[in-house]
Amino acid sequence: SGWAWAPGPVLVGLAGQLFNAATIERLAEHFSNLLRAVCERPEQTIGELQLLTTAENTQQSEWSIAPCTPAQQWLPELLNEQARQTPDRTALVWDGGSLDFAELHAQANRLAHYLRDKGVGPDVCVAIAAERSPQLLIGLLAIIKAGGAYVPLDPDYPADRVAYMLEDSRARVLLTEQELAATLTVPSDTQVLLLDQVELGGYPAHAPQTAVTPDNLAYVIYTSGSTGQPKGVGNTHAALAERLQWMQNSYRLNDTDVLMQKAPISFDVSVWECFWPLITGARLLIAGPGEHRDPHRIAQLVQEYGVTTLHFVPPLLSLFIDEPLSTECTSLRRVFSGGEALPAELRNRVLAQLPAVQLHNRYGPTETAINVTHWHCTVADGERSPIGRPLGNVVCRVLDSDLNPVPAGVPGELCISGIGLARGYLGRPALTAERFVVDPLGEQGARLYRSGDRARWTNDGVIEYLGRLDQQVKLRGFRVEPEEIEARLLAQDGVAQAAVLVRETDAGPQLIGYFTATDASEDQDGQIARLKAALAAELPEYMVPAQLMRLE
């Protein structure tokens, strides 16, 4: 008819408030792409249709990776080289003592020679269960220097869980302490060495000759598993060296720095906390048992030892900022946040209260050697703190369920490729094949880790974390699979059905367990107490529901 309708100024104004113009233009272009593709090849399945233009594909390829020179030296060599360069410099401090690089490495080397005599070498697992102390760090160093892969066992874990990890990892040797050893069930073919009792004076103080390759395992960390048992993630020397090299090139620790090691050794952040200072000539402070989760004591240690570099999970960071002494921590230069989403309100409080400190938000699953993205936080970041851009030689993609790239602004699964992927899950080839798939956009043979995390690209190539695609949750920085807790609940006498959820409470997010009883006549309070005691005997403290509720 020749008649055309034009939107009035009120409607246009409202649309401008609700939608970004560039987003609407991109949406229209993607719709045109779909129509064109359907017409050109009607036989395609929906999953094969491509939304992105050639220009967008090129742009996302550029966003996805930050190439740099790959690491060429592995951790044993890096540690020994630094010890040769700075033998008299203080390497390790704790409440009550210190060791210089020469003495620290001499003790670790003697223990490494002992481990070599026990058959430890490349791809041989060595478990370590020890309280936070110099002996813990010496044990970790010795395992690495012997060429083995260390398996950290948190002393706070229930005995049954530790026993499972020892059995599952097939650890050749267990390094522990006399008091802990009495509580552990150790497989008959695992040799036990008491770190606080052993005499190693007969072993040489020089580093053993151990040739590790990039693909050899450096450590195996166990995470919560949806099948009811934890699973061991095996990370390689290539992945670890790549991370440590990138961190040093980016943040430049030097001999004026003091880094506090306070993450539990079962948490992968502890890996860079332990080794980064020792390959750069910085000083490493070990927070003692209990001190690592006490915000008041952390602030005292920062002041007493001049700590410059700290990592927090957001809940502990919030407690630290609320601690009055934190305002006097003037030595701090860098604070890293990770393990779970960083709330904007907390970010802004940190930046306001510690204006001289750089706050860095970092993201990374255990399956990708600690961290894969980074972001230097500012108050201009808005209502959501980005997890940022990929680290060097890491490839980050946001993909749909068919592993096709999604446009900027559209949520998808964050998938990770490049240097730094774990070898897989120890002794679980089927699970490894499920989560580590062929990268359809990478070079031939490249693998892609499907993280299960929901994310999106912003218009300027920054990644925002949006939550999970499955039931997995993060609690105080720890990965928790509610299905594992549900499986343990269902295994208890008297439980017919079970569900575990995270609920917001006055005390913050907590796990709440719900169940139905096979016998409704059983005393409810007594049954709940019995079930909580059973779960506490099988699960780490952070996985035991704060409340159990029996339903009809």
Contacts of 82 (CB under 8 A, 6+ apart): 101, 278, 279, 280, 281
Place of tokens 């208890």: 492
pLDDT at 23: 80
Give the residue from 315, 310, 313, 316 showing the smallest Cα distance to 296: 316
Q: Are 129 and 162 in contact (CB under 8 A)?
A: yes
pLDDT at 7: 55
Give the residue from 299, 303, 250 showing the smallest Cα distance to 272: 250
Length of the chain: 552
The SS3 call for residue 379 is helix
Partnered with residue 274 across adjacent β-strands are: none
pLDDT at 96: 86
Contacts of 235 (CB under 8 A, 6+ apart): 217, 218, 219, 220, 221, 268, 366, 369, 422, 423
With 0-12 CB in 10 A as exposed, 13-18 as middle and 19+ as buried, what is 494? middle
Beta strands in 317-393 (DSSP E): 334-337, 358-363, 373-376, 389-390
Sign of CA dihedral 52, 54, 55, 57: positive
> What CA–CA distance (Å, rounded) separates 146 from 355?
43
Place of tokens 């917001």: 504
Q: Kindly state the tokens that stand for 182.
A: 């009495």
Contacts of 77 (CB under 8 A, 6+ apart): none
Buried b (16+ CB within 10 A) or exposed e, 11-33: eeeeeeeeeeeeeeebeeebeeb
pLDDT at 479: 80
CA-to-CA dists, residue 255 to 9, 151, 370, angstroms = 63, 30, 24
Q: What angle (nearest 5°) sits at the alpha carbon of residue 98, between those of residues 93 and 102?
A: 110
Buried b (16+ CB within 10 A) or exposed e, 526-539: ebbebbbebbeebb
Q: Are 177 and 151 in contact (CB under 8 A)?
A: no
pLDDT at 2: 46
The bridge status of strand 424-425 relative to strand 412-418 is unpaired
* H or E segment to which residue 311 belongs: strand 309-312
Give the residue from 316, 446, 354 showing the smallest Cα distance to 393: 446
**Mind listing the pLDDT tens digit of every residue in the chain (552 residues)?**
345 555 555 555 666 777 778 788 888 888 888 898 899 989 988 878 888 888 888 999 999 999 999 999 999 999 999 999 999 999 999 998 999 999 999 999 999 999 999 999 999 999 999 999 999 999 999 999 999 999 999 988 988 899 999 999 999 999 999 999 989 999 999 999 999 888 898 999 999 998 899 999 999 999 987 667 899 999 999 999 999 999 999 999 999 999 999 999 999 999 999 999 999 999 999 999 989 889 999 999 999 999 999 999 999 999 999 999 999 999 999 999 998 899 999 999 999 999 999 999 999 999 998 999 999 999 999 888 999 999 999 999 999 998 999 999 899 999 999 998 999 999 999 999 999 999 999 988 899 999 999 999 998 999 999 988 877 787 777 788 888 899 999 999 999 999 999 888 887 788 999 999 999 889 999 999 999 999 998 898 889 999 999 998
The SS3 call for residue 121 is coil
Q: Kindly state the tokens that stand for 180.
A: 């802990």
CA-to-CA dists, residue 206 to 83, 84, 90, 142, angstroms = 11, 11, 19, 12
> What CA–CA distance (Å, rounded) separates 413 from 451?
7
Q: What is the DSSP letter of 183?
A: T
Phi, psi of 237, deg, nearest 5 = -65, -35
The SS3 call for residue 478 is strand
Q: What is the DSSP letter of 327?
A: G
> How would DSSP label each residue in 404-437?
-B--TTS-EEEEEEETT---EETT-HHHHHHHEE
